[in-house]
């Protein structure tokens, strides 16, 4: 009986499609049951994110939920820099895991703060100033 339920769950979950954002980066992912490969813009995750800290950020939701080698993830990233893209991808993976089993994974991911979109953005440059907050040098004479 238990095996039937698991089989039904995998058939139900063909492809999960979610997105995540951070700064100006947007990550769209397609998660399917598989061997645990993560492909980012048609490259491996180690090739796309060469630093270990960014690779850790990407794999963090999978490791917390202990489903590291269970799902294949294809991601399309656009905009922003490498850190913003890695954090956008992390949010997208966490949201996809919620679609798999919300009641089991939500407390784990919520505790680590992986379900909240970080809404900090770059402040715009103001007219009559050098940057967003920096002013031109003041000259008395």
Q: Say what the pLDDT of residue 116 is.
A: 95
Q: Say what the pLDDT of residue 6 is.
A: 47
Judge whether 121 lies within some domain: no
Judge whether 139 lies within some domain: no
pLDDT one-digit tens code per residue, 127-137? 999 999 999 99
The total domain count for the chain is: 1
Query: 4 pLDDT exceeds 60?
Result: no
- Residue 38's domain comprises 2-112
Judge whether 90 lies within some domain: yes
User: Residue 86's domain is classified under what CATH number?
Assistant: 3.30.230.10
**1 — pLDDT class (breaks 50, 70, 90):** very low
- The residue written with tokens 């089991």 in the block is 104
Q: Say what the pLDDT of residue 113 is.
A: 94
Distance CA 132, CA 81 (A): 20
pLDDT one-digit tens code per residue, 58-97? 999 999 999 988 999 999 999 999 999 999 999 999 999 9
Judge whether 123 lies within some domain: no
pLDDT one-digit tens code per residue, 8-62? 444 456 899 999 999 999 999 999 999 999 999 999 999 999 999 999 999 999 9
Judge whether 19 lies within some domain: yes
């Amino acid at each position: 009986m238990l095996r039937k339920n698991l089989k039904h769950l995998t058939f139900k979950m063909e492809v999960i499609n979610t997105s995540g954002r951070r700064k100006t980066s947007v990550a769209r992912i397609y998660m399917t049951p598989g061997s645990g490969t993560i492909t980012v813009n048609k490259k491996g995750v180690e090739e796309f994110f060469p630093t270990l800290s960014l690779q850790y950020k990407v794999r963090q939701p999978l490791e917390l939920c202990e489903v590291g080698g269970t799902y294949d993830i294809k991601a399309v990233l656009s905009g922003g820099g490498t850190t913003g893209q890695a954090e956008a991808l992390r949010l997208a993976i966490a949201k996809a895991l919620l679609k798999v089993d919300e009641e089991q994974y939500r407390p784990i991911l919520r505790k680590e703060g992986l379900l909240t979109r970080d809404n900090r953005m770059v402040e715009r440059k103001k007219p009559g100033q050098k940057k967003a907050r920096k002013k031109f040098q003041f000259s008395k004479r």
